[in-house]
């Protein structure tokens, strides 16, 4: 009887553990985990680890920290990273944001329409993109302020000095200065990046600095992504906030998720503004 009492629970543990593991591997990724994870840890602590989402295999990214590609290196055994919401996001605005923007399109944009068009022509940038950045930054309020940034494009004092803006509260100076800086960032980006993606790369550099953008491109290459496409790079930029990724890069930590959210919001605004300027 003793062997039966010892062996049977052990066999049951293996059977249930195997079944639960199979359930997780067959379940949709969005459903994998929490309740089964808790069940596994409660019943069999040693098998519960099989149910953790981070134990699953995802065919998205190769982890460049634990494995580095070398000549003759096999892809077998590579660990991968699950996609996040920002990996698959598309340009969108909430209902409230759309309502506010539509209201300002009717009441505020007419005052600055010629300004955005003129500045866009001067710097070879889409007028709708410049207007979208200005709206996202200040809702087209020329006297907007927050800490050290001010004006429609919310320029910092140092950026304003760099682009020759003496009065940040002047709509014309501020918008022209912001566009000049954005054009300057775009000029640093390879023409291997097609338009309009080059504009979004410039926005990323505008927002977090050209050094972090270069880091994101380096990381994209390591992860098997195309460093010249925004659809790929926006999946990688959020990883700059994770130590296992930024530790091996030149410029370190960056709030990549906030940068992607900012650019996607600008893109959403640009779509709504474009018909009013083009």
Same domain, 112 and 172: yes
Is a pLDDT exceeding 50 seen at residue 6?
Answer: no
Same domain, 19 and 140: no
Single out the residue of 181, 196, 191, 241 nearest to residue 215, CA to CA: 241
Same domain, 131 and 240: yes
Domain enclosing residue 17, as ranges: 1-55
Q: What angle do CA 272, 276, 277 make, to 5 degrees?
A: 110
pLDDT band at 92; cut points 50, 70, 90: confident
List the single range of 34-38, 160-164, 268-272 with lowest mean pLDDT.
34-38
Residue 81 lies in a domain: no
Residue 137 lies in a domain: yes
Q: Using CA atoms, how far apart are residues 67 and 111, in angstroms rounded to an integer? A: 55
What's the confidence (pLDDT) of residue 85? 35
The verdict on whether 137 is a catalytic residue reads yes
Burial environment of residue 219 by CB neighbours within 10 A (0 to 12, 13 to 18, 19 or more): buried
| Max Cα–Cα distance, the chain, nearest Å | 91
- 207 vs 58, higher pLDDT: 207
Same domain, 185 and 47: no
Task: State pLDDT tens for residues 23-77.
Answer: 444 444 444 444 434 434 443 444 343 334 443 333 334 344 433 333 333 333 3
Q: Which of 79, 137, 173, 270 does the annotation list as catalytic? A: 137
What's the confidence (pLDDT) of residue 278? 65
Residue 69 lies in a domain: no
Q: What is the DSSP letter of 240?
A: G
Same domain, 139 and 249: yes
The total of structural domains in the chain comes to 2
- Tell me the average pLDDT across 202-214: 95
Same domain, 226 and 121: yes
């Amino acid at each position: 009887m003793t062997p039966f009492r010892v062996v049977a629970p052990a066999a049951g543990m293996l059977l249930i553990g195997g079944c639960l593991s199979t359930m997780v591997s067959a379940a949709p990724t969005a459903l994998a985990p929490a309740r089964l994870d808790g069940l596994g840890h409660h019943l069999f602590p040693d098998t519960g680890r099989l149910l953790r989402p981070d134990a699953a295999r995802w065919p998205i990214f190769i982890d460049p920290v634990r494995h580095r590609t070398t000549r003759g290196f096999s892809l077998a055994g590579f660990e991968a990273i699950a996609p996040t919401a920002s990996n698959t996001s598309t340009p969108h605005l909430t209902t409230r944001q759309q309502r506010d923007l539509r209201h300002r399109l009717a009441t505020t944009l007419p005052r600055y329409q010629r300004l955005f068009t003129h500045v866009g022509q001067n710097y070879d940038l889409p007028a709708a993109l410049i207007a979208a950045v200005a709206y996202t930054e200040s809702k087209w309020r020329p006297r907007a302020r927050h800490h050290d940034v001010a004006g429609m494009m919310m320029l910092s004092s140092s950026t304003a000095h760099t682009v020759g803006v003496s009065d940040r509260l002047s709509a014309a100076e501020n918008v022209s200065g912001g566009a000049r800086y954005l054009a300057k960032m775009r000029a640093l980006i390879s023409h291997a990046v097609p338009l309009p993606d080059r504009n979004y790369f410039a926005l990323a550099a505008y927002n977090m600095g050209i050094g972090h953008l270069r880091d994101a491109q380096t990381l994209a290459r390591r992860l098997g992504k195309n460093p010249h496409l925004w659809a790929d790079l926006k999946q990688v930029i959020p990883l700059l906030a994770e130590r296992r990724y930024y530790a091996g890069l030149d410029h370190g930590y960056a709030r990549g998720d906030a940068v992607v959210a900012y650019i996607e919001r600008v893109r959403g605004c640009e779509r709504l503004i474009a018909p009013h300027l083009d």
